[in-house]
Amino acid sequence: MRPKVLLFANTDWYLYNFRRSLGEAIDAAGWQVVLVSPPGGYGPKLREFGFEWVPFVFSPGGINPVHEASAIVRLARLYRLLRPTLVHHFTIKCVIYGSLAARLIPRTAVVNAVTGAGYAFSQQDARARLLRQPVEWAYRVALSGKSSRVVFQNSADRDMFVRAGLVDEGKVRLIRGSGVNCERFRPPVIEQERDDGRVRILLATRLLRDKGVFEFAEAAGTLQRSYPNAEFLVAGGLYPDNPTSLTAAELDGIVEQGLVRYLGNVSDMPELLRSVDIVVLPTTYAEGTPRILIEAAASGRPVVATDIAGCRGLVENGRTGFLVPPKDAEALVKALETLLDDSGLRRRFGKAGREVVLRGFEESIVLGHTLDLYRELVPGFPVTRFSTTPADRAKEDPV
Protein backbone atom coordinates (compact mmCIF):
# COMPACT_ATOMS: atom_id res chain seq x y z
CA MET A 1 0.00 0.00 0.00
CA ARG A 2 1.43 3.39 -1.03
CA PRO A 3 1.66 6.13 1.62
CA LYS A 4 -1.26 8.54 1.42
CA VAL A 5 -1.74 12.33 1.29
CA LEU A 6 -5.22 13.69 1.98
CA LEU A 7 -6.26 17.14 0.68
CA PHE A 8 -9.29 18.66 2.44
CA ALA A 9 -11.06 21.82 1.19
CA ASN A 10 -14.43 23.48 1.67
CA THR A 11 -15.56 22.95 -1.96
CA ASP A 12 -14.87 20.43 -4.69
CA TRP A 13 -14.68 23.43 -7.04
CA TYR A 14 -11.61 24.66 -5.13
CA LEU A 15 -9.90 21.28 -5.35
CA TYR A 16 -10.66 20.95 -9.06
CA ASN A 17 -9.54 24.43 -10.07
CA PHE A 18 -6.75 25.22 -7.62
CA ARG A 19 -5.28 21.96 -6.28
CA ARG A 20 -5.68 19.41 -9.06
CA SER A 21 -2.07 19.92 -10.16
CA LEU A 22 -0.89 19.28 -6.61
CA GLY A 23 -2.83 16.02 -6.58
CA GLU A 24 -1.24 15.03 -9.89
CA ALA A 25 2.24 15.85 -8.53
CA ILE A 26 1.66 13.71 -5.42
CA ASP A 27 0.47 10.82 -7.58
CA ALA A 28 3.48 11.19 -9.89
CA ALA A 29 5.74 11.01 -6.83
CA GLY A 30 4.36 7.52 -6.16
CA TRP A 31 2.06 8.34 -3.25
CA GLN A 32 -1.70 7.92 -3.02
CA VAL A 33 -3.81 11.07 -2.98
CA VAL A 34 -7.32 11.37 -1.56
CA LEU A 35 -9.42 14.50 -2.05
CA VAL A 36 -12.13 15.37 0.50
CA SER A 37 -14.74 18.13 0.27
CA PRO A 38 -18.49 18.74 0.50
CA PRO A 39 -20.32 17.24 -2.48
CA GLY A 40 -20.81 19.33 -5.60
CA GLY A 41 -20.63 19.29 -9.35
CA TYR A 42 -16.84 18.98 -9.51
CA GLY A 43 -16.44 15.82 -7.43
CA PRO A 44 -17.37 13.54 -10.37
CA LYS A 45 -14.98 15.53 -12.57
CA LEU A 46 -12.15 14.85 -10.11
CA ARG A 47 -12.94 11.15 -10.34
CA GLU A 48 -12.80 11.40 -14.13
CA PHE A 49 -9.21 12.59 -13.70
CA GLY A 50 -8.51 9.39 -11.77
CA PHE A 51 -8.57 10.84 -8.26
CA GLU A 52 -10.15 9.22 -5.24
CA TRP A 53 -12.64 11.85 -4.10
CA VAL A 54 -14.62 11.39 -0.89
CA PRO A 55 -17.65 13.64 -0.25
CA PHE A 56 -17.90 14.98 3.28
CA VAL A 57 -21.02 16.96 4.19
CA PHE A 58 -20.62 20.04 6.35
CA SER A 59 -21.58 23.72 6.10
CA PRO A 60 -18.58 25.99 5.38
CA GLY A 61 -20.55 28.97 6.73
CA GLY A 62 -22.39 27.25 9.58
CA ILE A 63 -22.01 28.32 13.24
CA ASN A 64 -24.51 26.05 15.03
CA PRO A 65 -22.41 24.51 17.88
CA VAL A 66 -24.17 21.13 17.77
CA HIS A 67 -23.80 20.78 14.00
CA GLU A 68 -20.16 21.90 14.10
CA ALA A 69 -19.23 19.47 16.88
CA SER A 70 -20.94 16.68 14.94
CA ALA A 71 -18.95 17.60 11.83
CA ILE A 72 -15.62 17.33 13.72
CA VAL A 73 -16.58 13.91 15.10
CA ARG A 74 -17.61 12.64 11.64
CA LEU A 75 -14.40 14.00 10.11
CA ALA A 76 -12.32 12.23 12.76
CA ARG A 77 -14.05 8.95 11.88
CA LEU A 78 -13.28 9.53 8.20
CA TYR A 79 -9.60 10.25 8.95
CA ARG A 80 -9.40 7.07 11.04
CA LEU A 81 -10.88 5.11 8.16
CA LEU A 82 -8.57 6.60 5.50
CA ARG A 83 -5.39 6.63 7.67
CA PRO A 84 -3.43 9.29 5.72
CA THR A 85 0.30 9.76 6.26
CA LEU A 86 -0.07 13.50 5.74
CA VAL A 87 -3.10 15.79 5.57
CA HIS A 88 -3.17 19.18 3.87
CA HIS A 89 -6.04 21.50 4.83
CA PHE A 90 -7.24 24.57 2.90
CA THR A 91 -9.48 27.42 4.16
CA ILE A 92 -10.32 28.31 7.75
CA LYS A 93 -12.89 25.74 8.78
CA CYS A 94 -11.02 22.88 7.11
CA VAL A 95 -7.82 23.96 8.88
CA ILE A 96 -9.46 24.00 12.30
CA TYR A 97 -11.68 20.93 11.97
CA GLY A 98 -9.11 18.92 10.04
CA SER A 99 -6.34 19.61 12.55
CA LEU A 100 -8.51 18.49 15.45
CA ALA A 101 -9.51 15.33 13.59
CA ALA A 102 -5.91 14.53 12.62
CA ARG A 103 -4.82 14.50 16.26
CA LEU A 104 -6.72 11.25 16.71
CA ILE A 105 -4.50 9.47 14.17
CA PRO A 106 -1.01 8.55 15.41
CA ARG A 107 2.01 9.73 13.38
CA THR A 108 0.00 11.87 10.95
CA ALA A 109 1.74 14.98 9.62
CA VAL A 110 -0.37 18.11 9.08
CA VAL A 111 0.00 21.05 6.70
CA ASN A 112 -2.45 23.91 7.24
CA ALA A 113 -2.84 26.47 4.46
CA VAL A 114 -4.19 29.74 5.84
CA THR A 115 -5.36 31.35 2.60
CA GLY A 116 -6.26 34.65 4.25
CA ALA A 117 -7.40 35.77 7.69
CA GLY A 118 -11.04 35.51 6.64
CA TYR A 119 -14.39 37.05 7.55
CA ALA A 120 -13.94 37.13 11.34
CA PHE A 121 -10.77 39.24 11.04
CA SER A 122 -11.53 41.36 7.96
CA GLN A 123 -14.99 42.67 8.89
CA GLN A 124 -16.23 44.80 11.79
CA ASP A 125 -19.94 43.89 11.90
CA ALA A 126 -21.49 42.36 15.01
CA ARG A 127 -21.34 38.81 13.70
CA ALA A 128 -17.63 39.08 12.85
CA ARG A 129 -16.80 40.57 16.27
CA LEU A 130 -18.76 37.78 17.95
CA LEU A 131 -16.83 35.14 16.02
CA ARG A 132 -13.35 36.64 16.37
CA GLN A 133 -12.47 35.45 19.87
CA PRO A 134 -13.64 31.82 19.43
CA VAL A 135 -11.92 31.68 16.03
CA GLU A 136 -8.66 32.89 17.60
CA TRP A 137 -8.97 30.24 20.32
CA ALA A 138 -9.69 27.56 17.72
CA TYR A 139 -6.66 28.61 15.67
CA ARG A 140 -4.36 28.41 18.70
CA VAL A 141 -5.53 24.87 19.39
CA ALA A 142 -5.54 23.72 15.77
CA LEU A 143 -2.16 25.15 14.79
CA SER A 144 -0.26 23.83 17.81
CA GLY A 145 0.11 20.24 16.64
CA LYS A 146 3.63 18.79 16.96
CA SER A 147 4.09 17.36 13.45
CA SER A 148 2.59 20.34 11.66
CA ARG A 149 3.43 23.37 9.55
CA VAL A 150 1.34 26.42 8.69
CA VAL A 151 1.51 27.95 5.20
CA PHE A 152 0.67 31.61 4.54
CA GLN A 153 0.34 33.28 1.16
CA ASN A 154 1.55 36.72 2.24
CA SER A 155 3.86 38.06 4.92
CA ALA A 156 1.26 40.38 6.49
CA ASP A 157 -1.05 37.49 7.46
CA ARG A 158 1.93 35.47 8.67
CA ASP A 159 3.16 38.32 10.88
CA MET A 160 -0.33 38.98 12.28
CA PHE A 161 -0.80 35.33 13.31
CA VAL A 162 2.66 35.18 14.92
CA ARG A 163 2.21 38.48 16.80
CA ALA A 164 -1.20 37.38 18.09
CA GLY A 165 0.26 34.14 19.39
CA LEU A 166 -1.94 32.01 17.15
CA VAL A 167 1.00 30.00 15.79
CA ASP A 168 4.61 29.37 16.72
CA GLU A 169 6.97 31.17 14.34
CA GLY A 170 9.05 28.02 13.86
CA LYS A 171 6.09 26.24 12.25
CA VAL A 172 5.43 28.95 9.67
CA ARG A 173 6.26 28.81 5.96
CA LEU A 174 5.50 31.32 3.19
CA ILE A 175 4.28 29.93 -0.16
CA ARG A 176 2.75 32.56 -2.43
CA GLY A 177 -0.59 31.32 -3.74
CA SER A 178 -1.64 28.03 -5.25
CA GLY A 179 0.38 28.51 -8.43
CA VAL A 180 -0.71 29.17 -11.99
CA ASN A 181 0.20 27.21 -15.10
CA CYS A 182 1.69 29.93 -17.29
CA GLU A 183 1.29 27.79 -20.40
CA ARG A 184 -2.49 27.76 -19.92
CA PHE A 185 -2.72 31.34 -18.67
CA ARG A 186 -0.81 33.35 -21.23
CA PRO A 187 -1.44 36.43 -23.39
CA PRO A 188 -2.79 36.10 -26.92
CA VAL A 189 -0.12 35.47 -29.55
CA ILE A 190 -0.93 38.88 -31.03
CA GLU A 191 -2.51 41.67 -28.98
CA GLN A 192 -4.95 43.57 -31.16
CA GLU A 193 -7.34 46.39 -30.37
CA ARG A 194 -10.91 45.64 -31.34
CA ASP A 195 -12.31 47.20 -34.49
CA ASP A 196 -15.23 48.69 -32.56
CA GLY A 197 -12.89 50.25 -29.95
CA ARG A 198 -14.43 48.32 -27.05
CA VAL A 199 -12.42 47.90 -23.86
CA ARG A 200 -13.59 44.99 -21.68
CA ILE A 201 -13.19 45.22 -17.92
CA LEU A 202 -13.69 42.06 -15.83
CA LEU A 203 -14.52 41.34 -12.21
CA ALA A 204 -14.23 37.57 -11.63
CA THR A 205 -14.82 36.48 -8.06
CA ARG A 206 -17.26 34.96 -5.61
CA LEU A 207 -20.17 37.39 -5.53
CA LEU A 208 -19.73 38.62 -1.97
CA ARG A 209 -20.25 42.17 -0.77
CA ASP A 210 -16.71 42.33 0.62
CA LYS A 211 -15.28 41.40 -2.79
CA GLY A 212 -16.27 44.87 -4.01
CA VAL A 213 -19.12 43.96 -6.35
CA PHE A 214 -21.12 47.07 -5.52
CA GLU A 215 -18.07 49.34 -5.85
CA PHE A 216 -17.41 47.81 -9.27
CA ALA A 217 -21.02 48.42 -10.33
CA GLU A 218 -20.87 52.02 -9.06
CA ALA A 219 -17.65 52.66 -10.98
CA ALA A 220 -19.21 51.12 -14.09
CA GLY A 221 -22.18 53.48 -13.86
CA THR A 222 -19.88 56.49 -13.58
CA LEU A 223 -17.52 55.47 -16.38
CA GLN A 224 -20.18 54.48 -18.88
CA ARG A 225 -21.20 58.13 -19.22
CA SER A 226 -17.72 59.15 -20.45
CA TYR A 227 -16.57 55.85 -21.95
CA PRO A 228 -19.42 54.30 -23.95
CA ASN A 229 -16.86 51.88 -25.41
CA ALA A 230 -16.19 50.35 -21.97
CA GLU A 231 -17.88 47.00 -21.28
CA PHE A 232 -18.10 45.79 -17.68
CA LEU A 233 -18.27 42.03 -17.11
CA VAL A 234 -18.90 40.03 -13.93
CA ALA A 235 -18.09 36.32 -13.61
CA GLY A 236 -18.72 34.17 -10.56
CA GLY A 237 -21.46 32.62 -8.47
CA LEU A 238 -23.65 33.42 -5.48
CA TYR A 239 -22.91 31.78 -2.11
CA PRO A 240 -26.13 31.76 -0.05
CA ASP A 241 -24.38 30.10 2.94
CA ASN A 242 -21.96 33.04 3.20
CA PRO A 243 -23.30 35.96 5.29
CA THR A 244 -21.86 38.53 2.86
CA SER A 245 -23.13 36.94 -0.36
CA LEU A 246 -25.17 39.05 -2.76
CA THR A 247 -28.74 37.90 -3.11
CA ALA A 248 -30.17 36.92 -6.48
CA ALA A 249 -32.35 40.06 -6.34
CA GLU A 250 -29.33 42.31 -5.75
CA LEU A 251 -27.46 40.77 -8.66
CA ASP A 252 -30.52 41.06 -10.91
CA GLY A 253 -30.83 44.73 -9.94
CA ILE A 254 -27.25 45.50 -11.00
CA VAL A 255 -27.72 43.69 -14.30
CA GLU A 256 -31.13 45.23 -15.05
CA GLN A 257 -29.71 48.74 -14.60
CA GLY A 258 -27.30 47.94 -17.44
CA LEU A 259 -24.26 48.46 -15.21
CA VAL A 260 -22.65 45.08 -15.94
CA ARG A 261 -23.05 42.01 -18.10
CA TYR A 262 -23.23 38.87 -15.96
CA LEU A 263 -21.43 35.78 -17.29
CA GLY A 264 -22.19 33.36 -14.45
CA ASN A 265 -19.60 30.76 -13.52
CA VAL A 266 -17.03 30.49 -16.32
CA SER A 267 -15.26 27.17 -16.93
CA ASP A 268 -12.62 28.43 -19.39
CA MET A 269 -10.89 31.20 -17.47
CA PRO A 270 -7.76 31.31 -19.67
CA GLU A 271 -9.88 32.09 -22.73
CA LEU A 272 -11.98 34.66 -20.85
CA LEU A 273 -8.87 36.47 -19.60
CA ARG A 274 -7.40 36.59 -23.09
CA SER A 275 -10.64 38.19 -24.30
CA VAL A 276 -10.62 41.10 -21.80
CA ASP A 277 -8.38 44.15 -21.38
CA ILE A 278 -8.41 44.95 -17.65
CA VAL A 279 -9.12 42.87 -14.54
CA VAL A 280 -10.49 44.46 -11.36
CA LEU A 281 -10.72 43.14 -7.79
CA PRO A 282 -11.85 45.84 -5.31
CA THR A 283 -11.91 43.36 -2.42
CA THR A 284 -11.87 44.11 1.30
CA TYR A 285 -11.77 40.39 2.16
CA ALA A 286 -8.68 39.28 4.09
CA GLU A 287 -7.46 36.69 1.58
CA GLY A 288 -3.98 35.33 1.01
CA THR A 289 -3.10 36.13 -2.61
CA PRO A 290 -6.21 36.28 -4.80
CA ARG A 291 -5.94 33.63 -7.50
CA ILE A 292 -7.70 35.78 -10.11
CA LEU A 293 -4.97 38.43 -9.84
CA ILE A 294 -2.27 35.83 -10.50
CA GLU A 295 -4.21 34.41 -13.44
CA ALA A 296 -4.81 37.89 -14.86
CA ALA A 297 -1.15 38.88 -14.59
CA ALA A 298 -0.05 35.57 -16.13
CA SER A 299 -2.42 36.34 -19.01
CA GLY A 300 -0.75 39.70 -19.56
CA ARG A 301 -3.62 41.74 -18.19
CA PRO A 302 -3.23 44.93 -16.11
CA VAL A 303 -5.06 44.80 -12.81
CA VAL A 304 -6.73 47.26 -10.46
CA ALA A 305 -7.04 45.96 -6.91
CA THR A 306 -7.41 47.26 -3.39
CA ASP A 307 -4.39 48.22 -1.33
CA ILE A 308 -4.58 45.36 1.16
CA ALA A 309 -2.03 42.72 2.13
CA GLY A 310 -3.16 39.95 -0.21
CA CYS A 311 -3.21 42.18 -3.28
CA ARG A 312 0.05 43.97 -2.44
CA GLY A 313 1.76 40.58 -2.53
CA LEU A 314 1.35 40.54 -6.32
CA VAL A 315 0.35 43.96 -7.66
CA GLU A 316 3.18 46.48 -7.99
CA ASN A 317 1.45 49.86 -8.00
CA GLY A 318 2.27 51.82 -11.13
CA ARG A 319 4.18 48.91 -12.69
CA THR A 320 1.79 45.97 -13.12
CA GLY A 321 -1.43 47.75 -12.21
CA PHE A 322 -2.94 50.12 -9.68
CA LEU A 323 -3.75 49.73 -5.99
CA VAL A 324 -6.68 51.79 -4.68
CA PRO A 325 -8.12 52.27 -1.17
CA PRO A 326 -10.79 49.76 -0.13
CA LYS A 327 -14.45 50.76 -0.59
CA ASP A 328 -13.45 53.79 -2.67
CA ALA A 329 -15.40 53.76 -5.93
CA GLU A 330 -14.05 57.20 -6.87
CA ALA A 331 -10.43 56.02 -6.67
CA LEU A 332 -11.41 52.93 -8.66
CA VAL A 333 -12.89 55.18 -11.37
CA LYS A 334 -9.71 57.27 -11.59
CA ALA A 335 -7.48 54.19 -11.94
CA LEU A 336 -9.71 52.75 -14.64
CA GLU A 337 -9.81 56.07 -16.48
CA THR A 338 -6.03 56.04 -16.72
CA LEU A 339 -6.04 52.55 -18.23
CA LEU A 340 -9.00 53.24 -20.52
CA ASP A 341 -7.17 56.25 -21.96
CA ASP A 342 -3.88 54.48 -22.65
CA SER A 343 -3.70 51.13 -24.47
CA GLY A 344 0.10 51.29 -24.42
CA LEU A 345 0.10 51.52 -20.63
CA ARG A 346 -2.23 48.52 -20.47
CA ARG A 347 0.23 46.48 -22.53
CA ARG A 348 3.24 47.58 -20.44
CA PHE A 349 1.48 46.74 -17.17
CA GLY A 350 0.41 43.37 -18.59
CA LYS A 351 3.92 42.46 -19.69
CA ALA A 352 5.41 43.44 -16.34
CA GLY A 353 2.73 41.49 -14.46
CA ARG A 354 3.47 38.30 -16.37
CA GLU A 355 7.16 38.66 -15.51
CA VAL A 356 6.26 38.89 -11.81
CA VAL A 357 4.20 35.69 -12.03
CA LEU A 358 6.92 33.80 -13.90
CA ARG A 359 9.46 34.72 -11.20
CA GLY A 360 7.47 33.75 -8.13
CA PHE A 361 3.93 32.47 -8.73
CA GLU A 362 4.33 29.93 -11.53
CA GLU A 363 2.80 26.55 -10.75
CA SER A 364 6.04 24.55 -10.80
CA ILE A 365 7.59 26.91 -8.21
CA VAL A 366 4.64 26.59 -5.83
CA LEU A 367 4.48 22.81 -6.27
CA GLY A 368 8.20 22.57 -5.57
CA HIS A 369 7.92 24.46 -2.29
CA THR A 370 4.84 22.46 -1.25
CA LEU A 371 6.40 19.06 -1.90
CA ASP A 372 9.61 20.18 -0.17
CA LEU A 373 7.45 20.97 2.85
CA TYR A 374 5.93 17.48 2.71
CA ARG A 375 9.45 16.03 2.69
CA GLU A 376 10.34 18.19 5.71
CA LEU A 377 7.50 16.58 7.68
CA VAL A 378 7.72 13.08 6.17
CA PRO A 379 11.35 12.18 5.44
CA GLY A 380 10.25 9.31 3.20
CA PHE A 381 8.46 11.58 0.78
CA PRO A 382 10.28 11.23 -2.55
CA VAL A 383 12.28 13.90 -4.34
CA THR A 384 10.38 15.01 -7.46
CA ARG A 385 11.07 17.06 -10.54
CA PHE A 386 9.54 20.02 -8.70
CA SER A 387 12.06 19.92 -5.86
CA THR A 388 13.86 23.19 -5.17
CA THR A 389 17.26 24.00 -3.74
CA PRO A 390 17.68 26.07 -0.55
CA ALA A 391 18.96 28.95 -2.71
CA ASP A 392 15.84 28.79 -4.86
CA ARG A 393 13.67 28.79 -1.77
CA ALA A 394 15.31 31.92 -0.38
CA LYS A 395 14.85 33.69 -3.72
CA GLU A 396 11.24 32.63 -4.36
CA ASP A 397 9.90 33.02 -0.82
CA PRO A 398 11.32 36.31 0.51
CA VAL A 399 10.53 37.15 4.12
Tens digits of per-residue pLDDT, 4-25? 999 999 999 999 999 999 999 9
Collapsing DSSP states into helix, strand and coil, what is residue 366?
A: helix
Check whether 128 has a pLDDT greater than 70. no
Whether the CB-CB separation of 286 and 257 falls below 8 Å is answered with no
In angstroms, rounded to a whole number, what is the distance separating the alpha carbons of residues 314 and 357? 8
Q: pLDDT of 258-267, one tens digit each?
A: 999 999 999 8
Check whether 256 has a pLDDT greater than 60. yes
pLDDT of residue 383: 77
Mean predicted confidence (pLDDT) in 338-361: 95
Q: What's the whole-number average pLDDT of the chain?
A: 88
In percent, the amount of the chain with pLDDT more than 90 equals 67
Instruction: Compute the chain's Rg from CA coordinates.
Output: 21
Check whether 394 has a pLDDT greater than 50. no
Q: At what angle do helices 213-226 and 329-340 cross, to 10 degrees?
A: 50
CATH, domain range 199-360: 3.40.50.2000
Q: At what angle do helices 291-298 and 343-360 cross, to 10 degrees?
A: 110
Residue type, 286: A
Residue type, 392: D
Q: pLDDT of 233-250, one tens digit each?
A: 999 999 887 778 999 999
Residue ranges per domain, the chain?
4-178+362-396, 199-360
In angstroms, rounded to a whole number, what is the distance separating the alpha carbons of residues 327 and 214? 9
Work out the number of other CB atoms within 10 angstroms of the CB of residue 67: 11
> pLDDT band at 395, cuts 50/70/90?
very low
Check whether 199 has a pLDDT greater than 80. yes
pLDDT of residue 127: 63
Q: pLDDT of 21-47, one tens digit each?
A: 999 999 999 999 999 999 999 999 999
CATH fold of 4-178+362-396 reads Rossmann fold (3.40.50)
Check whether 325 has a pLDDT greater than 50. yes
CA 38 to chain centre: 18
Q: pLDDT of 217-230, one tens digit each?
A: 999 999 999 999 99
> pLDDT band at 391, cuts 50/70/90?
very low
Domains 4-178+362-396 and 199-360 agree in fold: yes
Predicted TM-score of the model (pTM) = 0.84
